[in-house]
C-alpha cells in the first residue's frame, strides 16, 4: 500500500471505541494516550488535536488466526483501505453487546492487511471467542483510534514493553525502518518474545522473568536500572500498567523528564 493520508486521531473512549473497562470521556482522554494513563498522572508532551469523525464499523474478513506462542495468537484481517497511524488501535467486537475489546494494530502502515497480537485469557470474555474464529469468517471491527503514536521521529525512541505490549512497537518498526529505535521487551519465557526476529537488526533487549535460557533472568525494570539509554530519547511504555510506576521512578532517577514518557496501558497487573 502506498502512502496514506495522516489518520484522524481519536482517543479511546470517544464515540464508543472499545469496551475496555474504565474508558475515559473524551475531555479527559484528550491529553493521554490510553484510557488508563490519566490515573497515572503521566502527561503527554504534546496535545494532539483530534477530530471526531463518525464511528466507522465494518465487517472485516479474517485472513489468518494462528498461535504465535503457547499463550498468544496473531489475527490478520482485511484492511480495505482503512487509514491508521502506527500506535493506534482497533476495537474487535464479539457476539454480544459489550463483548468488544481494544487491540493495538501490530502491522505497519504500509501493509495491505491489519494484524493484532492477542493474549488468550481463558477466563476472559472476548479472547476465547477470537481463538475459535476461522479463516474466512467475518469479524466486526471499529475504526482505528488512539494517540499512542510517535511524537517526534527525529528523537531516539526507547520502547519498553511487557508481553503483548510489544504490538505498537512492531507497528512503529515496520512503518519506519529508519527509526532510531531501542527495544526492551519483558516477558516470562522465551516463547513470548513476539516478533523477536523482526527486531534483530535493532538494539533489542529481551528480559525473561521466569526463564534463564538467555543467561540473565529478570524483569524489564531490573534490566533498565543499569542500562544506559540513548541521550535525548522519547520513552514509550506499553503493557501492564504496574510496570509504568517503577519505570517512571527509574527514568526520573536517570534524569528523564516526565514529559518525554508516553504510556499505553492494556490492563492492571504484572504480565512478565
Ligand atoms: C488501549 C488498549 C490496547 C490493547 N491492546 C491489546 C493488544 O494489542 N493485545 C492484547 O492481548 N490485549 C490488548 N488489550 C487488552 C484487551 O483489550 C483485552 O482486555 C484482553 O484481550 C482481554 O480480553 P477478554 O475479553 O478475553 O478478557 P476480559 O474478560 O476483558 O479480561 C480478563 C482479565 O485479563 C487481563 N488481561 C487483559 N489483557 C491482558 C493481556 N494483554 N495480557 C494479560 N492479561 C490481560 C486483565 O487482568 C483482565 O481483567 C488492550 C487494551 C487497551 C485498553
Question: What are the tens digits of pLDDT across the range 108-163?
Answer: 999 999 999 999 999 999 999 999 999 999 999 999 999 999 999 999 999 999 99
pLDDT for 198 equals 97
Average of per-residue pLDDT values in the chain: 83
Question: 109 versus 271: which is more confidently predicted?
Answer: 109
Alpha-carbon separation of residue 251 from 224, 227, 234, 254, 266 (angstroms): 9, 10, 11, 5, 21
pLDDT (mean) for 71-89 = 96
Grade residue 229 by pLDDT with cuts at 50, 70 and 90: very high
Question: 269 versus 178: which is more confidently predicted?
Answer: 178
148 CA: nearest ligand 1 atom: 1
Look at residue 16 and tell me whether its pLDDT is greater than 90. Answer: no
Residue 89, SS3? strand
CATH topology of domain 157-267: Rossmann fold (3.40.50)
Q: How far is the CA of 170 from the centre of ligand 1 (A)?
A: 18
pLDDT tens string 171-210 = 999 999 999 999 999 999 999 999 999 999 999 999 999 9
Return the best residue to mutate from 187, 266, 268 for the ligand 1 pocket (most ligand atoms within 8 A of CB): 266
- Classify residue 170 as exposed, middle or buried by CB count within 10 Å of its CB (0-12, 13-18, 19+): buried
Alpha-carbon separation of residue 139 from 35, 202, 240 (angstroms): 24, 34, 26
Return the best residue to mutate from 13, 99, 119 for the ligand 1 pocket (most ligand atoms within 8 A of CB): 119
Look at residue 40 and tell me whether its pLDDT is greater than 70. Answer: no
Grade residue 26 by pLDDT with cuts at 50, 70 and 90: very low
Grade residue 272 by pLDDT with cuts at 50, 70 and 90: very low
The residues spanned by each domain of the chain are 157-267
DSSP 97-127: TT-EEEEEB-S-TT-SEEEEEEE--TT-SSH
Q: At 240, list the grid cell.
A: 501492564
Q: How far is the CA of 101 from the centre of ligand 1 (A)?
A: 7
Q: Tell how far CA 105 is from the center of its chain.
A: 7
Q: How far is the CA of 185 from the centre of ligand 1 (A)?
A: 18
Question: 49 versus 166: which is more confidently predicted?
Answer: 166
109, 118, 63, 64: which is closest to 85 by C-alpha?
A: 109
Query: Which pTM value belongs to this model?
Result: 0.85
pLDDT (mean) for 86-90 = 98
DSSP 148: -
Look at residue 11 and tell me whether its pLDDT is greater than 50. Answer: no
Amino acid at each position: 500500500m502506498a502512502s496514506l493520508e495522516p489518520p484522524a486521531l481519536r482517543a479511546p473512549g470517544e464515540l464508543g471505541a472499545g469496551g475496555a473497562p474504565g474508558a475515559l470521556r473524551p475531555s479527559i482522554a484528550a491529553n493521554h494516550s490510553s484510557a488508563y494513563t490519566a490515573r497515572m498522572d503521566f502527561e503527554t508532551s504534546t496535545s494532539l488535536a483530534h477530530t471526531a469523525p463518525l464511528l466507522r464499523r465494518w465487517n472485516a474478513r479474517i485472513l489468518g488466526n494462528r498461535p504465535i506462542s503457547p499463550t498468544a495468537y496473531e489475527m490478520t484481517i482485511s484492511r480495505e483501505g482503512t487509514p491508521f497511524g502506527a500506535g493506534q488501535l482497533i476495537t474487535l467486537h464479539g457476539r454480544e453487546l459489550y463483548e468488544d475489546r481494544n487491540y493495538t494494530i501490530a502491522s505497519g502502515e504500509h501493509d495491505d492487511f491489519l494484524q493484532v497480537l492477542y493474549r488468550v485469557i481463558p477466563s476472559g470474555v472476548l479472547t476465547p471467542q477470537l481463538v475459535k474464529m476461522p479463516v474466512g469468517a467475518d469479524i466486526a471491527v471499529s475504526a482505528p483510534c488512539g494517540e499512542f503514536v510517535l511524537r517526534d521521529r527525529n528523537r531516539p525512541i526507547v520502547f519498553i514493553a511487557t508481553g503483548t505490549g510489544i504490538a505498537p512497537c512492531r507497528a512503529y518498526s515496520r512503518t519506519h525502518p529508519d527509526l532510531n529505535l531501542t527495544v526492551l521487551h519483558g516477558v516470562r519465557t522465551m516463547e513470548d518474545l513476539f516478533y523477536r526476529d523482526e527486531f534483530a537488526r535493532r538494539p533489542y533487549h529481551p528480559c525473561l522473568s521466569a526463564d534463564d535460557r538467555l543467561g540473565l533472568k529478570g524483569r524489564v525494570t531490573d534490566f533498565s536500572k543499569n542500562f544506559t539509554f540513548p541521550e535525548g530519547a522519547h520513552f514509550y511504555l506499553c503493557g501492564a500498567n504496574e510496570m509504568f510506576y517503577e519505570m517512571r521512578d527509574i527514568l526520573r532517577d536517570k534524569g528523564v523528564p516526565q514529559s518525554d514518557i508516553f504510556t499505553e496501558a492494556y490492563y492492571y497487573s504484572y504480565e512478565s
